[in-house]
Structure formats: C-alpha cells, structure tokens
Structure 1
Amino acid sequence: MLTVMSYDRYVCIFKPLQYHIIMNPYMIRLLVFIGNLLPCSFALFETYLFMQIPLCRYTLDRIFCDNLSVSDLSCDNYYSQVANTFTLCGVICFVVVPVFLFILSYLKIILLVLKLSAEARKKTFATCTPHLTFFSTVLFAALFSIIFNRVNPHVPAKVAVIRVFFLSTNYILIPPLVHPLIYGIKNKDIRTALLKMKRKAISTTKRFIVQA
C-alpha cells in the first residue's frame, strides 16, 4: 500500500493535469484491491506452509511469533527449507521490489524538484514528506527484522535480548503510533483543534495559578 501511495505521489507531481483521469475511481479500487489481495494471499499460503513444520521446541525469544522464529524451532530441515525459500521469495516480491520502485519514483521526484522554484519545492516536499517518513520507518523496522533473523544463530545472547526489545517496540509499536501523527498533523482541521486544546490548557493553567 505504501508503494501504491508512492505511485499516487508520482502521478500527482509529474502529471498533475491528468491526475484525475489516471487516478480515477476504478484505478483506485484496483490498486487498493491488488495492494491488499497479494500480500494477504501470500501470508495465508505462507502460514499454511509453516503449519506443516514439525516442531521440537516451543519457546520463542520474543513477544511475537514470526515465520523464521518458527523455522528455528523445527526438527525437520526439509519442511523448514521449503518454507524459508518461500519466505525469501516473499521478501523479494514484497520488500525488495516495492523498495526499488519507491526509491526510483522518489529519485525522479527529487530530480524534478531541484529544477523548480522555491515555492514549488516547498509544496512538493510538504506533499511527500509524511509518506517518505512513514515508509522509511516501516522499511527500517522490516529490514532490521529480516537481517537479524538471518544472522540470529551467530548473535550473542545479550544482543538477542536487545533485539527482542527493539523489534517489539520498533516493528509493532512505533509505525502505528507514528502514522496518525505524521498524516494527522498535516490536516488543517486537526491542527486547528490541537491549537485550541493547547490554548485552552494554557488558559486553564493560568487561572489555576492565579486562584492559587
């Protein structure tokens, strides 16, 4: 979905006059459908594959369960290798390819922005910064999880504990918390409401101090 959003930004900046023709309701529904259907279908089949793995141990060193952690508990190398190969294909399809398309689109956007006026650059960055920030947060968490899972057997126990804490906070907690902040503060109505709440809180604090 973040890659679909980068395509939306690309069309908005490079073809503003044709934006509503290209991003018509049918195209939007199609992109949303594909952006949800493909990952969900992959995840369901991946879950089925990992359910076939016989387990010898049942203790995970983290607060959530991912595929490679289940694979580490396996006592059958064949099933584990098949499932891991399928997961690697998923990483290529749903991480490497989207990241490549994302970087390519933003490189083209940056090259275009450098040729524009200061006001146009300001508007472009205001449009793209929230999406870029959130994508970077999710990407960093996902890549860290993937890389650390691959090198996990060679990592000391103390470092593994830090990894558990970092993954549980960064991968699960931070993106959902950052998302509404990044996109919400850009909304004029939300900014106005927050400013009203701030002024009201300051006014209440001043009255309390005066009365005290």
Structure 2
Amino acid sequence: MMENVSVPTMFSLSGLNFPFVQRIIIFMLVLLCYLLILVNNCTIIFVIITEKKLHKPMYVFLCNLCVNALYGSVGFFPKFLVDLLSSHVISYTGCMLQGYVIHSSTCCDFSILALMAYDRYVALCRPLVYQSFMTTLRVSLFVFLSWFVPLFCMFLNTATLLGKKLCGFHINRLYCVNLMVANLACSPPKVNSIIAMFNIGVYFGHFLFVCYSYVYLFKMCLASTQTWKKFRQTCTPHLICLLVYSTTVLLDLLYIRFGSDNLSLHLDNFVTIEFLIIPPILNPLIYGVQLTHIRKRILRFFVTKKKIHNFFMNN
C-alpha cells in the first residue's frame, strides 16, 4: 500500500476514449469555439478601449469581463486541443496551475457580474450621485478587488493541496479540478475543506448581494416609465449573462458532486466543459447586440471598412 503513496509527477485524465478520427472532428469544433471566444471578446475589448464615449464604469466592467473570459479560456483550450491530438496526461505542476486558472476565472466572472449589478443599482437608484460616486479612483479600486478576491481565494484553495501525498493519479475529468485532486489525497486535507467552505461563503454572499440589488432595482424601476426603459436597455444584457453564467456553473457543480453514470461519453464531456464555452461566447454577443453604443461602433467599423474596400476596387 505504501508503494502507491507519493507526491505525483503526472496525472492521467479521462474523457477521450474514442477513435482518433472522432478526435480530429472534435478538435475542429473546439478550435472553432476557441476562435469565437478570442474574436468575440477581443472585439468588445478593442471597441471599449478605442471609443472614448465608452470610457464609463459600465463598459470598463464589461471590458474586464471579456479579459477574464480570455484568461479562463487560456487555462483550458490550448491544453485540451493538444490532448485531442496526443496523450491525455498532465504534469503535477500543470494540473495545479490549470485548476487554479479555471477556478479563479470562474469566481472572477461572478465578482465582475456582482460589480456590474452594483453599478446598475447606483446608476438607476442614485442617479444624482452616480458621477460623483463612480470616480476613476473608486472604479479602479472596484476592478482591483473584483480580480484580487477570487485570485486570492483560489490561491489559498490550491496552496493547501501542494505537496500532499496522494493514493491515486487519475482524474476522472477532461481537466484538473481541485476537488478531485483533494479526493485523491491519502488523508483528507482539513485545511482545504475549511478554505473551500470559506470561499463558498464569500461567493454565496456575492449571490445574495446580486439578488438584493436586482429585487430593489425591479421595485424602483416599476414606479417610473423612464427608469423602467433604462432598466430594460442596460440591465437586460447583464441579467441574461448572469442567468447563463449561473445556470452553466450550477450545472457543473451539481454534476461534479452527484454525477450520473447514464450519460454518454460525449454528453458527459459537454456537461463538464459547457461553462467554459457557453458564457465566453455568448456574453460579448449579448452585449454587442443589446448595448446601442457598442453595436453602433462595431457596425461603423464594418461600414468604414466596406467603403475603403469599394474605393480601392473602383480606382
């Protein structure tokens, strides 16, 4: 028994037990998804940075949401694309890093979405003090905290697993998950469980705050037709993104803890990665369509590009 107890150098992963031809097809689909994530989010980031009219708190927070989508996708897609064409293993260091990036990115999404809910609360319920309250310094502090809190919380969670002796080296997933690494430990890491509960408490607090903000917003906006119009214009995309994010992450959390042996391999794989694909693709599309300033800026870019193309073609 003691021969199987050690600090690992490699982990094996699961979920790619199908013919190489199918792997190639999946590789092309995953690559397409990754390119969509890169193009969609980079477009929104570029538009917000280059358009001075969009240098406002709401768009700054949106820009950070897109940056976080790029950060989280780097933790999964490049490694997974390589795995589809080679062996499905990962080094111990790579596993810890991948788990940290994916977990911290997921938490950072929620922190930024909570911050965006607060921004809408101040803008619609306290419009007279919005400009004086949402100063550049305060917005910068909010953005810093929306990154620092999840990065720090997940650092504590990951740090408690480093150097632990494990009784197994197989992770039953497409990618590394801290919970599954903790389950491989020969003796349950109590500190990890305590920090995990602390992190759950922190983000449950985020959840309660978002719920309170929107319940209050909804009540306030119903009393005024003009305020209700603003609510629909600026809060609808945020609510849709929040719903998509919450649904996909909750589905993943429920599946990792309760699971099901009745799902096919492909459906099982999709359930484990849907939160890494759906929100990063949909969020920039939703905001790009719903928010007028962003939509007009993108359309103006393509119209200008078309005019330049026609000019050179006609001369």
Q: What is the TM-score of this pair, normalised by structure 2?
A: 0.55
After TM superposition, list the pairs within 5 Å mapping 1:183-202 onto structure 2.
Answer: 183-185=287-289, 186=291, 187=294, 188-193=296-301, 196=303
Query: Deviations for 1:164-183, whole angstroms, at most 9, x for unmatched residues?
Result: 32121x21111111121112
User: 1:159 matched to which residue of 2?
Assistant: 263
Which residue pairs with 1:178 in the alignment?
282
The equivalent of 1:122 in structure 2 is 229
Q: Which residue of 1 aligns with 2:18?
A: none
Q: CA deviation at 1:61?
A: 2.2
- Say if 2:156 is the partner of 1:45: yes
Q: How big is the shift at 1:193?
A: 5.0
* Contact 1:68–1:84 (CA under 8 A) maintained in structure 2: no
Percent identity of paired positions between Structure 1 and Structure 2: 27
Cα contact 1:6–1:102 (8 A) shared by 2:
yes
Q: Match for residue 210 of structure 1?
A: none
Q: Distance in 1 between matches of 2:156 and 2:194?
A: 13
1:86 corresponding residue in structure 2: 195
1:146 and 2:253 matched: yes
Task: Give the match for residue 117 of structure 2.
Answer: 6
What is the letter of the counterpart of residue 156 of structure 2? F
Do 2:244 and 2:279's aligned partners in 1 also have CA atoms closer than 8 Å? yes
Which shifted more, 53-62 or 170-179? Answer: 53-62
Cα distance change on mapping 1:106 and 1:139 into 2, 3 Å? same
Q: TM-score, normalised by structure 1?
A: 0.80
Query: What is the distance in 2 between the residues matched to 1:3 and 1:160?
Result: 35
Cα-to-partner distance string for 1:170-204 (whole Å, 9 max, x where unaligned): 2111111112111222222224556x59x99xxxx
Give the unaligned 5+ runs of structure 2.
1-111, 308-315
Q: Deviations over 1:65-107 (max 9, x none)?
A: 1111212222222x1x43133112212202x111110011001
State the AA in 2 paired with 1:147.
L
Q: Is the 8 A contact 2:153 2:199 kept in 1?
A: yes
**Runs of 5+ unmatched residues, structure 1:** 201-212
Worse-matched range after superposition: 123-132 or 51-60:
51-60
CA contact under 8 A between 2:251 and 2:271: conserved in structure 1? no
Do 1:57 and 1:73's aligned partners in 2 also have CA atoms closer than 8 Å?
Answer: yes
CA contact (8 A) 1:9 1:128 kept: yes
Shift of 1:63: 1.5
1:25 and 1:103 map into 2 onto residues whose CA distance is 26
Q: Is the 8 A contact 2:252 2:271 kept in 1?
A: no
Q: Which of 162, 166, 170 is the aligned partner of 1:55?
A: 166
Which residue matches 1:131?
A: 238
Residue identity opposite 2:250 in structure 1: L
More relative contact order, 1 or 2 (CA 8 Å, 6+ apart): 2
Q: Using the alignment, how far apart are the partners of 2:193 and 2:258 within structure 1? A: 14
Preserved CA contact (<8 Å) 1:114 1:121: yes
Partner of 2:181: 70
> Does residue 106 of structure 1 match 2:217?
no
Using the alignment, how far apart are the partners of 1:132 and 1:3 within structure 2? Answer: 11
Q: Deviations over 1:111-144 (max 9, x none)?
A: 1121122x54232111001111112222222222
1:24 paired with 2:129, answer no
